[in-house]
Amino acid sequence: MATIKDVAKSAGVSIATVSRVLNGSANVKQATRDAIQRTIQELNYMPNALARGLQKKQSKTIGVLFPDATSYYFAEIIRGINTCIQQAGYRIVVSSAHDAADEANVFLSLWKSQQVSGMIVMMPSTHNATIFNSTQRSIPLILLNTAITDGADITITIDNYQGAKEITKHLIEHGHQAIGFIHGAPNNHDSEERYRGYQDALNEGNLTRSSHLEFHGNFTENSGYRAVISLLNQSEKPTAIFAANDAMAIGAVEAARQLSLQVPQDIAIVGFDDISTARYINPPLTTMNVPVLEIGEMAGNHLIRLLEDNRQVVTREITVPVHLVVRESCGCPKEK
């Protein structure tokens, strides 16, 4: 498992600089911050401050649980959460989970530790839909990017469905009829909602969905690369591909290049999330922008209100809108 020292060495920076990025400090150049976040992504690094926080038995501590699957934009969400939490005099401890069973175990361990004042949990896995119903809610809980609607004070989800539907329609408007889809990780709420939006857009456009135009990836660049190699080495080929996140779309662009195809002239490729790399690849990636930093700030602010108002807040579900960012990979002209 990668350590913060590994991240610092690979990114060519000091451990202190990596720590500042993880803690949301503004005193880091954007280029350096982007390089560190890319390294975090590549090494699949996830800091685990949980043990240190519990050993110190510090009060006014917020527990944050993220799965490895969110590593592409995890740092920005943490930065948004941390800004709000620090201003209110709290600190956060971060833990990670590698699969659905691990998610449940880590969550229950942290929840029962009685060392945190509240929790923010990102749990996109659909396997743990009932875990919060059986948990005595003694502290405030906010859930992010989840299909779970019961057992939390507030749930904050991305409008994956509408975003996927809109970007698929954008490809249809370009005249594409054979539109491939690269799935994200299995049993993942974000991936399933994006697939649902893709399907409904095809149906509304009177286009027939074909399983031959789909590939099951896992949100990584490598799976996007493998998807295009597979999809374009069969008789029924897509003329456009919608990858369920930008990492897979970036891998798909590289695979097309390896096959001596031009994007978008020979095949259009779009993604979802609008990570920082999306605008810098060639061609720049058309995608759906997810306001990741704002989601973190929203979660942090709502949790502080729950704590300060003694949870006197009506349980609510919040859906965060996304918006289409048109660049060149879909076939649109270059921005001036």
Spatial separation of the C-alpha atoms in residues 240 and 261, rounded to whole Å:
12
Q: Do 63 and 200 share a domain, yes or no?
A: no
Q: Do 149 and 214 share a domain, yes or no?
A: no
| pLDDT, the chain, mean | 84
Token pair 């917020």 is found at: 62
Q: Is residue 334 part of a domain?
A: no
Spatial separation of the C-alpha atoms in residues 266 and 303, rounded to whole Å:
48
Q: Is residue 331 part of a domain?
A: no
Q: How far is CA 234 from the centre of its chain?
A: 31
Reading the block at residue 272, the tokens are 């979802």
Rg (CA), the chain: 20
Using DSSP bridges, classify how beta strands 268-270 and 214-216 pair: parallel, antiparallel or unpaired.
Answer: unpaired
Which stretches within 23-91 are classed as H helix?
30-43, 50-56, 74-87
Q: Do 216 and 172 share a domain, yes or no?
A: yes
| Predicted pLDDT of residue 58 | 43
Q: Do 173 and 281 share a domain, yes or no?
A: yes
Q: Do 229 and 284 share a domain, yes or no?
A: yes
Reading the block at residue 335, the tokens are 């921005």
| Predicted pLDDT of residue 132 | 58
Q: Do 206 and 219 share a domain, yes or no?
A: yes
Q: Do 145 and 193 share a domain, yes or no?
A: no
Structural domain count of the chain: 2
CATH number of the domain encompassing residue 172: 3.40.50.2300
- Supply the DSSP symbol for 56: H
Q: Do 193 and 152 share a domain, yes or no?
A: no
Q: Is residue 102 part of a domain?
A: yes
Q: Do 111 and 29 share a domain, yes or no?
A: yes
| Predicted pLDDT of residue 67 | 74
Q: Collapse the DSSP code of 52 into the 3-class scheme (helix H, G, I; strand E, B; otherwise coil) and give the result.
A: helix
Note down pLDDT in tens along the chain; length 336 residues: 567 888 889 999 988 888 777 766 667 888 888 888 788 777 766 554 444 444 444 458 888 887 764 456 777 888 899 888 888 888 888 776 655 555 556 566 665 555 788 889 887 776 555 555 545 557 788 989 887 766 788 999 999 999 999 999 999 999 999 999 999 988 888 999 999 999 999 999 999 889 999 999 999 999 999 999 999 999 889 999 999 999 999 999 999 999 999 999 999 999 999 998 999 999 999 999 999 999 999 999 999 988 887 655 566 889 999 999 999 999 998 765
Spatial separation of the C-alpha atoms in residues 121 and 139, rounded to whole Å:
13
Spatial separation of the C-alpha atoms in residues 290 and 307, rounded to whole Å:
27
Q: Do 16 and 146 share a domain, yes or no?
A: yes
Reading the block at residue 274, the tokens are 């609008």
Q: Is residue 326 part of a domain?
A: no
Q: Is residue 152 part of a domain?
A: yes
Q: Is residue 182 part of a domain?
A: yes
Q: Do 304 and 286 share a domain, yes or no?
A: no
| Predicted pLDDT of residue 46 | 56
Spatial separation of the C-alpha atoms in residues 239 and 17, rounded to whole Å:
43
All residues at 6 or more sequence positions from 163 whose CB lies less than 8 Å from its CB, including other chains: 194, 197, 272, 288, 290, 322, 323, 324
pTM for this structure? 0.77
Q: Do 119 and 17 share a domain, yes or no?
A: yes
Domain interval for residue 189: 160-290
Q: Is residue 39 part of a domain?
A: yes
